[in-house]
Amino acid sequence: KQWYQRRVAITAGGFGRMSNTRYSLDSIEDTYVHLTNVAIQKTAPDYDPEKGCKWSLIQLRMYLLAKHGPEAVETLFRGMDDIFIKSLQSTQKIMINDKHCFELYGYDILIDETLKPWLLEINASPSLTASNQQDYDLKFKLLHDVLTIIDMEGKLTGKKEKSTDCDSALIPLL
């Protein structure tokens, strides 16, 4: 069997999902406080579908930079990259090894009060259904990046002019 080197693309076009209701120990019984799943959040009485509960990673990074400073935020994002790489390395022996295949994964990462990232789950083939225009724009950009990386037109392989119209970083998975 021929082996093909796997490559991982970590896109800058992801998003952070927030709870619609501010967390408080005083309202521990309120399920809207704890769940960031849109299917649950959208049933909250004060949910605004146009506003949603998502920020682009750029918006999230800017907020965290203003609140915690560049060193803490860079440490957080390096920690998330480390989670992505290590989780994929731990499963690479059971991944399909075919140059004609790809997979899109969605990572649910909790960020605690010290900006430590915690892996909650990994979703294979995450939902690309959009709940509002901002969500549509985020997911459209993600799909654009995926199709650019797949390189069906040969732009990255040297057969055609190289494409730089992508916000993802390709990383060999060793």
Give pLDDT tens digits for 59-90.
899 999 999 999 999 999 999 999 998 998 88
pTM beyond cutoff 0.85: no
pLDDT tens-digit map of 20-55: 777 777 877 877 776 667 777 788 888 887 777 788
Chain CA centroid to CA 44, Å: 24
pLDDT tens-digit map of 111-161: 988 999 999 899 888 888 887 888 888 888 888 888 888 877 777 665 544
pLDDT of 16 above 50: yes
Per DSSP, 10 falls in state: E
Q: Please tell me the distance from the alpha carbon of residue 133 to that of residue 147, in angstroms, as a whole number.
A: 21
Residue holding tokens 């916000």? 167
